[in-house]
Amino acid sequence: MSPVIIARNLHYKYEDGTVALAGVDFDLFPGETVAVFGGNGSGKTTFVLHLNGLLDGQGTIEVCGLPVKSETLKQVRQKIGIVFQDPDDQLFMPSVLEDVAFGPLNLGTPPDQAVERARIALDQVGMLEHQHKAPYHLSAGEKKRVAIAGVLAMDPEVLVLDEPTTFLDPPGQRSLTVLLRGLPQSKLIVTHDVEFARSLSKRAVFFEKGRIAGDGPTDRIIEQFRWIGL
């Protein structure tokens, strides 16, 4: 099977001179869920932001066979959906339904089709009954589900979730685990939560100083890097 993400020799330096990526090679395969570990400043978030062109460094990235570059960004962003750590960064419309329909509408989907896709996505995450609520009336776990629905409405092949258990209590974390297990997309899960990672992924990578310092079975990576606080 061809990988759905191929990254080769990625380098990135911020304007202040900080080296964030220093030669990253990575593959993600169809149907695979990979946990992404690493300390603050290790490069993992910078890496994720390259996957749909939010950052543009040196090296090459392909997503579902498409090279990530300026002229392909619209197609790439339909293939890969990123759910950010704070759902309030993604929820800004007056109602849940409008929020989830925003992405398809922005791609030029006719309004009736966009609304139907939004309702299907909300049903997938168990939030259809809240479609007419204002997002700010939702709990943290509900907001997270709506943010995921907004990505699912775009019908992506790959999901990237940045610290998805942030703001969630234990029941919310368990509910999110069940939801993610049931989704067919390939997934990258950036997390510090080793038990959450264990529950979803068989493979993990560990970022350190802008490089992938470890790549292998999740349990082995956890044990290998536990000494630095994983």
What six digits make up the tokens of 33?
A: 């869920």
CA distance to 11, 33, 102, 121, 159, per residue, from 109 (Å): 36, 29, 10, 15, 21
Over residues 170-193, the pLDDT tens digits come to 888 888 898 899 889 999 999 999
Over residues 10-65, the pLDDT tens digits come to 999 998 888 999 999 999 999 999 999 998 889 999 999 999 899 999 999 999 99
pTM of the model: 0.88
Cβ(97)–Cβ(119) below 8 Å: yes
Other CB atoms within 10 Å distance of the CB of residue 51: 23
Using pLDDT thresholds of 50, 70 and 90, give the confidence band for residue 125.
Answer: confident
Helix, strand, coil percentages (3-state) for the chain, rounded to 5, are 40, 25, 35
Task: Using DSSP bridges, classify how beta strands 158-162 and 80-83 pair: parallel, antiparallel or unpaired.
Answer: parallel
Structural domain spans, the chain: 5-228
- Domain 5-228 classified CATH 3.40.50.300? yes
